[in-house]
Chain A
């Protein structure tokens, strides 16, 4: 049953018709020479499609779009970018929610999608080496038959890439017990904007020197491009129990979350959804979510069967003591999978209600969850915007989802105004701007609510130690005043969109 080697023929494919027109742009010519003609796209279509990720933000038109397949090719792209004085922006699956991958200043787009090999899995060391374009869930699927998985499980895990997870230090429902991406990355091979390739971190338990790996994880592409990642792989738990608790009010659900943690239980996941989002989700998955409850709490415990049976009972008791009107356990693996499918596709399900959404990502202390939620609903009502709440409750990571139709005059402004107040309320409650989606372009303007000028100057210096001229993903994360060189990098003028 051997297949033909089609990949070579595929190389000539994607730009077949476009390939017949002569290329005049010397930047494109250099890139095509370094990669191959079919892995550098310069058509208006390809560049226009880069304008957006999964956020509400729209970037400018990008420069050429490159699909490198090796570290050497990424190095070549960086050197060409330097020679032509162009910025670069990395892109995985384009599922970011803070505009981190949108192009500003006509940068060269470096797409990770063809660096998608799982290079090596070492079960003894419990480490897997993967390329940045590997899809998060594909890695877990690859590991499942071996008895392992990759613990960080963003809701977009079926599509998002490991490279994107590293760039955003992504979390996910099960990061409550297992830790976010940073806790699962032991080493990174990166290419700096100078074209130099480096290994950061290492497989030793305590690598020598400063933890530059730690600085790179979550840097949102502003330090360089990740070409290979060593991640720890986590053994599958011997047993899992998933509970669905229903409440009359979201306050009861939020207070239950705090009480469970205070009781000394650290569940694998604690997720809350309010009534509106539960209805949308149930409509898609039909998992048996109660659509008449004010809020639901999805709690999961994993470990040894006897231990988690006790934890599961205790969670049920705590829930009832805090007003749970129903406590149910998933009876089968299918039921459990459906419940999770519902939770993880919640954001995408909202087009049933309105065509646009703006998803926030603040974190607040667990004890303040209920109060901040009240405030979020009040803010949304004041601005006449529909809000839904679905969030990683165990971490205090709120995801207020503002749902709207951008075609209605003034609606987008109201959404931004409401969002701004939600951020301010979260920070005032002792929280932070972003739990896991990153700063991108979205929360740049709010950085001063968290950091002093001095803080941000130091962050700018760290950035320039890797990228002295701010060529890597300029215009993101740090506000302009703190990364002056960004301004120069953003000056490139895009050519005609549909050219």
Chain B
């Protein structure tokens, strides 16, 4: 069947296999069908060889975390992420993947009021001990949160969906850090309810296009849009490709990861006594492999903590993968085990992670995590 993949993109893979060690699912299974090279070969077999969509083919595509670590590993720059997103879109359109219950579960993301009500209910359920541990909800979901208020119009701070409902304190910390650097901040709140990343990963790209259009219409032009969730930032930087319009390109060009932005304005941040902590940097995949701005995290954090340490796993995925840890808990757990080993070897006091999914997934394995902005904020506010 036609997966609607560009023939040149598919052909840009020469099957050399250099991507294999970068792939978390190949690393934990040793199975070619769970590697980027194997998945691309299956895309070819399906699109060009008319191979049937067996359960094993679908399983191969569904088990991809979409971490995209194979992309920087590829000397021929195969656009694997776009190939996989397109494949999933075609399969979701045909009803082969992403069953109805998943589509329903994604709906509230785009509706802040629904999400707040759902989160409050989840919060009550969590306190009553009714939320199974395997869902990986490490932190307590807040019942109510203080709203964020605008302090100026220099930059937008994208607040998004789940992160705003569950981790608003990270946005608050980021906003305070930006303000300390002299920027007036407008939190996007209901102007931009959701970036659509999770939907795009599930093959529901039309939903993402709709959300992108809303956001582009609501946000004032020419103002930088700062994002403190790596997955959201990567998705928003891809609107140009997703929508294929000059307007979307221009929008994507003014999206910055918050650390990326601050690394370019380090001189504006006040000095502070470093926190007495040994901090390991865990790079979210979409910051390191997609946005490729993970150097900025180090530049921003370094002055504010006693010691920064690297993990020795080359930025291997932690297994969170947006909704992946819920949809594929066994694989996500096996992948996380590798990460836990790397964290143990680095012996940090805590782990800095610039993505809400990673911090929740690691937190569920009792790893103490903090967003880099929370650490900088803590250093700036200590007496």
Interfacial residues, chain A to chain B (CB-CB below 8 A): 1-4, 6-7, 9-10, 12-18, 41, 43-46, 48-50, 52, 54, 67, 93-95, 111, 113-114, 116, 133, 135, 137-138, 141, 156, 158-159, 281, 284, 345-352, 355-357, 498
Contacts and interface: CB of A to CB of B under 8 A. Distances in A.
A356 B331 contact: no
B264 interface: no
Contacts of B20: 93-94, 159
Interface in B22-43: 28-34, 37-38, 41-42
Given A4-B337, A9-B330, A95-B16, A158 B21 contact: yes
Contacts of B330: 6, 9-10, 12-13
B34 to A, nearest CB: 7
Contacts, number: 147
B56 A45 contact: yes
Nearest to B73: A158
A46 B56 CA distance: 8
Contact of A284 (B34, B75, B344): B75
B57 interface: yes
Given A93-B20, A284-B75, A351-B76, A49 B52 contact: no
A48 B45 contact: yes
B33 A46 contact: yes
A350 B76 contact: yes
A62 B213 CA distance: 49
A352 B79 CA distance: 12
Nearest to A285: B75
Q: Interface range on chain B: under 10, 10 to 19, 20 to 34, or 35 or more?
A: 35 or more
A7 B334 contact: yes
B56 A43 contact: yes
A356 B16 CA distance: 10
B113 to A, nearest CB: 36
B78 interface: yes
Interface stretch (B7-15, B217-225, B241-249, B372-380): B7-15
B5 interface: no
Given A111-B30, A351-B76, 5 more contacts: A94-B32, A113-B30, A133-B30, A159-B18, A159-B20
Contact of B76 (A3, A9, A348): A348
A54 B15 contact: yes
Interface in B327-383: 330-331, 333-334, 336-337, 340-341, 343-344, 365-367
Contacts of A93: 17, 20
B320 to A, nearest CB: 14
A45 B42 contact: yes
Contacts of A348: 14, 16, 18, 74-76
Interface in B300-348: 312, 330-331, 333-334, 336-337, 340-341, 343-344
B66 interface: no
A184 B205 CA distance: 52
- With most chain A CB atoms within 10 A of its CB, the pick from B13, B16, B330, B365 is B16
A187 B32 CA distance: 29
B29 A10 contact: yes
Question: Which 4 A-B pairs have CB atoms at the shortest separation, nearest pair first?
Answer: A113-B30, A351-B76, A348-B75, A349-B75
A352 B14 CA distance: 10
B76 A14 contact: no
A54 B17 contact: yes
Nearest to B32: A49
Contact of B29 (A3, A13, A135, A356): A13
A116 to B, nearest CB: 7
17 contacts: A1-B365, A2-B366, A10-B331, A13-B330, A18-B59, A44-B56, A45-B54, A46-B31, A50-B32, A94-B20, A156-B16, A159-B21, A345-B18, A351-B11, A351-B13, A498-B51, A498-B52
B267 interface: no
B258 to A, nearest CB: 26
Contact of A67 (B30, B55, B76, B77): B30
B340 A2 contact: yes
A137 B21 CA distance: 10
Contacts of A135: 21
Given A46-B56, A350-B76, A357 B34 contact: no
B87 interface: no
A420 to B, nearest CB: 22
A158 B17 CA distance: 10
Contacts of B75: 281, 284, 345-349, 351
Nearest to B41: A49
B60 interface: yes
Given A10-B330, A13-B330, A350 B30 contact: no
Contact of B56 (A17, A114, A133, A355): A17
Contacts of B21: 135, 137-138, 158-159
Contacts of B41: 49, 52
B30 A114 contact: yes
A6 B56 contact: no
Contact of A94 (B17, B74, B336): B17
B77 to A, nearest CB: 7
A4 B330 CA distance: 10
Interface string B95-115: 000000000000000000000
Given A48-B45, A67-B30, A351-B78, A4 B13 contact: no
Given A6-B334, A14-B31, A347 B55 contact: no
Contacts of A114: 30
Contacts of A158: 18, 21, 73
Contacts of A41: 31
Contacts of B15: 52, 54
B217 to A, nearest CB: 38
Contacts of B73: 158
A95 B33 contact: no
A15 B42 CA distance: 16
Contacts of A16: 59
A59 B29 CA distance: 23
A95 B78 contact: no
A54 B37 CA distance: 10
Contact of B17 (A14, A18, A45, A95): A95
B356 to A, nearest CB: 20
Contacts of A17: 55-56, 59
Contacts of B78: 351
Contacts of A3: 333, 336-337, 340-341, 365
B48 to A, nearest CB: 10
Nearest to A497: B51
Nearest to B331: A13
B30 A46 contact: no
- With most chain B CB atoms within 10 A of its CB, the pick from A13, A45, A284, A349 is A45
A84 B365 CA distance: 46
A159 B17 contact: yes
